Amino acid sequence: MTKTIGVASTDALIDACYPVMAELRPHISREEFLPLVKHLEITHRFKLAFLEQDGIKAVAGYRVAEWLAGGRYLEIEDLVTSQNDRSRGFGGELFDWLMAEAAREKCRQVRLVSNVRRKDAHRFYLRKGMSQEALYFSINVKTSS
């Protein structure tokens, strides 16, 4: 059982990541997924990482960016392991790969935003050595129809 961790750089690999990503982002249809990922790659330097071992087991969306306040950082936007493969170390291995990617990209930090209801994910992030540094606020924008 060969294990591969890398960036989904072909349409076929991006599409193969969809079933796992859909567990975290069910509002995105399969038809929307590939064009959306490709759009985000071009406009926002988004990348889709995956861990494969007899199928895709874990997926992470990420990008490298910079802020005045904190410098260069890698932001994990999505990190999900297939429901059937949780607690087998795949998410941890992909997280470790992302940490190494941040080092390769000369980032000062790895950051992520997690929904307040995802308590299991929070415990995972804390076990991986992350700390909770900020509160994240949002408001929906009213648009005219």
57-114 pLDDT, tens per residue? Answer: 999 999 999 999 889 999 999 999 999 988 899 999 999 999 999 999 999 999 988 7
HSE-up of residue 28 (Cα within 13 Å, Cβ side): 16
Domain that holds residue 106: 4-127
Alpha-carbon distance of 27 to 25, in angstroms, equals 6
> How many structural domains comprise the chain?
1
Q: How confident is the model at residue 139 (pLDDT cuts 50, 70, 90)?
A: confident
Residue 138 domain-assigned (yes or no): no
Q: Are 49 and 7 in contact (CB under 8 A)?
A: yes
Q: What is the pLDDT of residue 118?
A: 81
Looking at per-residue confidence, does 118 or 72 come out higher?
Answer: 72
Q: Alpha-carbon Rg of the chain, whole angstroms?
A: 16
Q: What is the CATH number of the domain that holds 54?
A: 3.40.630.30
Average pLDDT over residues 130-135: 82
Residue 14 has pLDDT above 90, yes or no: yes
Give the tokens for residue 9.
């750089």
Judged by phi (left if over 0) then psi (alpha if -120 to 50, else beta), residue 87 lies in left
Alpha-carbon distance of 130 to 75, in angstroms, equals 13
Which of 11-25, 71-85, 117-131 has the least mean pLDDT? 117-131
Residue 135 has pLDDT above 80, yes or no: no
Alpha-carbon distance of 79 to 86, in angstroms, equals 12
